[in-house]
C-alpha cells in the first residue's frame, strides 16, 4: 500500500513526539491515568490495612504490658492494704489533722 507524504509526515511527528516524551495519543493517556489511579487506590488500601493491623498489634502489646505490671504489683499492694496501721491512717488522708495548732506533729495520733 503506497503511503502519501501526509501519512509519512504524520508518522514522523508521532515518532518525534513519543521520543520527546509527549503523549499525544488519547488512548495512551487514558491507559496511563487508569493504571496510575488503580495503583494509587491499591497502595492506599494496602497502607490502610497495614496501619490498622499495626494499631491492633500495638494495642494488644500495650495491654499485655500493663496487665503484667498490674500482676507484678498486685501482691505488694494487697499486702500493704491488709497491713494498714489504723492509728496512722488519718495521717495519710489528711496530714493537717495530725498537726497541733502551732504546727508541731500531734504524737498521740502518730502512736
Highest mean pLDDT among 21-25, 38-42, 103-107: 38-42
Alpha carbon distance, N-terminus to C-terminus of the chain: 118
Which residues lie closer than 8 Å to 29 by C-beta, 6 or more apart? Answer: 23
Q: What is the pLDDT of residues 44-87, one digit of tens each?
A: 999 999 999 999 999 999 999 999 988 888 888 888 777 766 55
Identify the pLDDT of residue 91.
Answer: 54
Which residues lie closer than 8 Å to 28 by C-beta, 6 or more apart? Answer: none
Rounded Cα–Cα distance for residues 110 and 98 (Å): 8
Mean pLDDT of the 4-9 span: 68
Mean pLDDT of the 13-21 span: 59
Rounded Cα–Cα distance for residues 22 and 14 (Å): 9
Q: Choose between 59 and 2: higher pLDDT.
A: 59
Cβ atoms 99, 105 nearer than 8 A: yes
Percent of the chain topping pLDDT 90: 31
Amino acid at each position: 500500500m503506497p503511503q502519501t507524504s501526509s501519512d509519512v509526515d504524520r508518522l514522523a511527528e508521532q515518532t518525534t513526539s513519543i521520543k520527546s516524551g509527549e503523549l499525544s495519543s488519547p488512548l495512551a493517556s487514558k491507559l496511563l491515568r487508569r493504571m496510575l489511579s488503580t495503583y494509587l487506590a491499591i497502595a492506599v488500601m494496602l497502607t490502610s490495612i497495614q496501619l490498622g493491623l499495626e494499631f491492633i498489634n500495638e494495642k494488644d502489646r500495650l495491654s499485655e504490658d500493663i496487665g503484667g505490671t498490674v500482676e507484678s504489683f498486685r501482691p505488694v499492694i494487697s499486702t500493704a492494704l491488709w497491713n494498714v496501721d489504723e492509728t496512722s491512717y488519718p495521717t495519710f488522708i489528711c496530714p493537717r489533722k495530725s498537726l497541733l495548732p502551732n504546727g508541731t506533729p500531734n504524737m498521740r495520733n502518730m502512736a
